Structures are given as structure tokens and as C-alpha cells.
């Protein structure tokens, strides 16, 4: 993972210190990592992860797979690893007694090489059906006092341990109206080792009205076990970095870290507003910024196309990273997933 950066204007490496396998807790309880090993050098030259979890589709809980973490060493990328890796994935799928109907995956919009290779259908690769786009929005953290006008909309408070069960019930009730929203259980919030490892109840904000939860979100710091590191900048970006950072200091924007430094960001997890009121969502985000880790510089928030909260979230962001969302299978994708009635799609950004 550390040796295979994701190329781009800003090249990133996704590191998993101190334990790659412990970091995969975010994928749920059912996950497998496929490795391709160079038998002469006895070293890993490729890997990918297959995971399966319960998600809402058409208001019902279904098994849905997710393919992630596809990496290949540069010197090994033209050895047919992709075709062999997907054949092995197909074997794992066929051997699974409770296999999902299909898998989801995301590919960066500007990664044209990966899109061309993976969606080509060559060499027995499965069919990739584009469903939507997932936008990762970068919001600078501004620790402002609570706005009295917004406070009149609802009561916003930090969750306590006793509130977690009610939060789970709210998420499942609201999530059932979105496609691919995870079906959560108490075990997902157990510490350590649950899906939301490191997320304390004090990092969850709840908005209530008349004693009923109407919105919730958490600020999830994954840096102790999952790190996003700056690998390199393209020459123009490297030249402009000091100027951009100076401008960010003046405008309250986001600083570009030095090469080799981490992106000091926290994820916004399960941002759900049952009534989709912009003011309630704004109040929730402000509350998250006040309780975010003191050394975090920005929040990462993810929404798919057509999500009702996306336009407002985009208005607050200083940067955006877009990926294409695909359904992947060797056979047809169910109409309930690809039809217009499936929207809005939802992916839990910190669990990808």
C-alpha cells in the first residue's frame, strides 16, 4: 500500500499502520484480501480486497459486495495479473455459500487507465455498470460558536453511550430510503474492532426536535490506523504550493501538506437528516467542527449524485475528489439497482 501511490495532480498513498488487517475493520466483518505473489522474489506485487456486508436495497436488507484496495507494483502491471486476479475472485465468489448478487466499486474519474482496463470486459473481466458518482468534499474546519438562529431549528447535542442504540435505530429507519446504505448493528459500534473503530459516542452529534432524533453524524478520526499520505505533487502544483498555502492562511482555506506528511483530516460518518433541512444539516456540521480533533484541519464528507444534501455540502467545500460508482458482476445487474427508482445512492465514505 505504501509503495503504490494513486497518481494525480496530488499523488497519495493510503497507508495502514500499524496493521493492514486491523484497519480493514471498516469493511465490516466479512472481508478477504487477495494477494499476487512473485514466487521468485517471494514478494507481493498485487492485492485487492473483497468484502460483503448488509445494505438496504429497495427498502430491504440485502447482501452487497464491495471491491476495494486494488493495487499492483508498477513493474508487474503488464503480466496479466488483472485477469488472473479476477479469475480467482470469481472462484471465491462461487465458493461463497452466501454470495452477494453483485459488487460495488469506485474508480477515480481522472484515472482513465484504470477505467479503460477494468471496464473493457476483456480477459473474462466482469461487467462494470456505472451507477453514479461519489463526491468527496473537503471542508475546512472552522470552530465557530453555535448560531442562535440555527439552534432554534432543533436541539443539537453530543451523544452519550446510552444514545447509541437510538442512533442505530434512526440510521436504519432513515437509511432504508437510500440504496446501499449499510444496515447497522450494535457490533459495528463496539470498541475496539467494530466497523467504527475509534469512534466514541462523544464524537457523534445528534439533532432532536420534540425529543425525537431528526439528524445525526459523527466525526471519525481514522489516522491511528488508516493514513492518507502526500506522495508527490505534479511540478506545477509543487511550484504553486507555497502561494496556495499563503492564500489559504488569508482565506481560511486548506493547507497542502509537505511531501511525506499525512492529510490531517477526519471523516464525517453517517450524515443523515431525516427531513433534509439544510439548516439542520448546517447546524450538525458546525457542531462536528467544534468537537473534531484539535490537530485535524478538514472534514471529508461524501455524497453521491442526486443526494438532496449534495448541493449545500458543495457550497461549503474548498476541494472535491470525484469517483465513479459501479455495480460489478459476471451476470446481469438487478433492475432494482440500476433503475431510476434506486436513487439516491449512498456510500459510507469512511468505510471504502
In this predicted structure, what is the pLDDT of residue 77? 77
Residue, of 172 and 318, whose pLDDT is higher: 172
Retrieve residue 27's grid coordinates.
Answer: 469493511
Report the range of poorest mean pLDDT among 131-145, 149-163, 176-190, 248-262.
149-163
Which residues, in sequence order, are CB contacts of 267 under 8 Å at separation 6+? Answer: 219, 220, 221, 222, 299, 300, 301, 349, 350
pLDDT of 146 above 80: no
Which residues, in sequence order, are CB contacts of 11 under 8 Å at separation 6+? Answer: 5, 230, 231, 232, 233
pLDDT of 106 above 90: yes
Residue 162 CA to residue 202 CA, distance in Å, equals 11
Over range 167-189, report the average pLDDT. Answer: 96
pLDDT of 132 above 60: yes
pLDDT one-digit tens code per residue, 73-102: 888 877 778 888 999 999 999 999 999 999
Give the residue extent of every domain in the chain: 10-135+321-351, 139-222+258-320
In this predicted structure, what is the pLDDT of residue 248? 84
Residue 131 CA to residue 143 CA, distance in Å, equals 36
* pTM summary value: 0.92
Residue 203 CA to residue 273 CA, distance in Å, equals 17
Can you name the CATH fold of 139-222+258-320?
Aminopeptidase (3.40.630)
The yes-or-no answer to whether 10-135+321-351 and 139-222+258-320 have a common fold is yes
Report the range of poorest mean pLDDT among 102-106, 190-194, 288-292, 337-341.
337-341
pLDDT one-digit tens code per residue, 223-249: 999 999 999 999 998 998 989 889 888
CATH homologous superfamily of 10-135+321-351: Gcn5-related N-acetyltransferase (GNAT) (3.40.630.30)
pLDDT one-digit tens code per residue, 7-34: 878 889 999 999 999 999 999 999 999 9
Residue 160 CA to residue 113 CA, distance in Å, equals 46
Residue 215 CA to residue 226 CA, distance in Å, equals 27
Q: What is the 3-state secondary structure (H, E, C) of 150-211?
A: HHCCCEEEECCHHHHHHHHHHHHHHHCCCECEECCCHHHHCCCCCCCCCCCHHHEEEEEECC
DSSP assignment letter at 132: E
Residue 8: name the closest of 111, 94, 83, 88 by CA: 111
In this predicted structure, what is the pLDDT of residue 179? 95
Retrieve residue 326's grid coordinates.
Answer: 459501479
- The average confidence (pLDDT) of the chain is 91
pLDDT category at 151 given cuts 50, 70, 90 is: low
In this predicted structure, what is the pLDDT of residue 111? 86
Over range 105-131, report the average pLDDT. Answer: 88
CB of 138 closer than 8 Å to CB of 320: yes
In this predicted structure, what is the pLDDT of residue 278? 85
The length of the chain is 352
CA 299: distance to chain centroid? Answer: 12
Residue 273: name the closest of 214, 314, 211, 208 by CA: 214
Give the torsion sign (CA, 154, 265, 186, 28): positive
Amino acid at each position: 500500500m505504501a509503495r503504490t501511490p494513486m497518481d494525480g495532480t496530488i499523488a497519495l498513498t493510503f497507508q495502514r499502520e500499524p496493521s493492514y488487517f486491523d484497519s480493514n475493520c471498516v469493511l465490516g466483518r466479512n472481508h478477504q484480501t487477495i494477494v499476487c505473489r512473485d514466487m521468485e522474489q517471494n514478494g507481493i506485487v498485487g492485492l485487492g480486497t473483497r468484502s460483503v456486508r448488509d445494505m438496504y436495497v429497495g427498502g430491504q436488507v440485502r447482501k452487497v459486495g464491495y471491491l476495494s484496495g486494488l493495487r499492483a507494483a508498477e513493474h508487474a502491471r503488464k503480466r496479466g495479473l488483472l485477469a488472473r486476479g479476477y479469475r480467482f475472485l470469481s472462484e471465491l465468489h462461487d465458493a461463497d455459500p452466501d454470495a452477494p448478487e453483485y459488487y460495488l466499486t469506485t474508480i477515480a474519474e481522472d484515472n482513465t487507465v484504470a477505467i479503460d482496463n477494468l471496464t473493457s470486459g476483456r480477459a473474462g473481466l466482469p461487467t462494470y455498470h456505472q451507477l453514479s458518482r461519489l463526491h468527496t468534499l473537503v471542508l475546512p474546519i472552522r470552530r465557530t460558536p453555535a448560531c442562535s438562529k440555527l439552534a432554534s431549528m432543533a436541539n443539537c447535542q453530543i451523544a452519550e453511550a446510552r444514545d447509541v442504540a437510538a442512533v442505530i435505530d434512526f440510521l436504519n429507519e432513515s437509511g432504508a430510503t437510500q440504496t446501499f446504505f449499510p444496515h447497522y448493528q450494535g457490533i459495528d459500534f463496539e470498541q475496539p474492532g467494530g466497523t467504527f473503530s475509534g469512534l466514541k459516542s462523544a464524537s457523534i452529534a445528534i439533532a432532536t426536535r420534540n425529543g425525537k432524533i431528526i439528524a445525526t453524524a459523527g466525526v471519525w478520526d481514522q489516522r491511528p490506523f488508516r493514513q492518507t499520505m502526500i506522495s508527490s505533487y505534479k511540478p506545477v502544483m509543487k511550484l504553486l504550493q507555497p502561494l496556495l498555502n499563503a492564500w489559504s492562511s488569508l482565506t481560511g482555506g486548506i493547507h497542502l501538506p509537505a511531501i511525506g506528511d499525512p492529510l490531517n483530516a477526519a471523516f464525517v460518518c453517517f450524515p443523515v437528516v431525516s427531513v433534509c433541512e439544510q439548516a439542520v444539516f448546517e447546524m450538525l456540521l458546525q457542531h462536528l467542527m467544534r468537537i473534531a480533533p484539535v490537530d485535524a484541519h478538514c472534514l471529508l464528507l461524501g455524497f453521491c449524485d442526486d443526494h438532496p444534501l449534495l448541493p449545500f455540502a458543495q457550497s461549503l467545500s474548498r476541494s472535491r475528489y470525484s469517483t465513479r460508482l459501479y455495480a460489478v458482476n459476471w451476470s446481469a445487474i438487478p433492475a432494482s439497482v440500476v433503475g431510476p427508482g434506486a436513487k439516491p445512492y449512498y456510500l459510507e465514505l469512511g468505510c471504502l
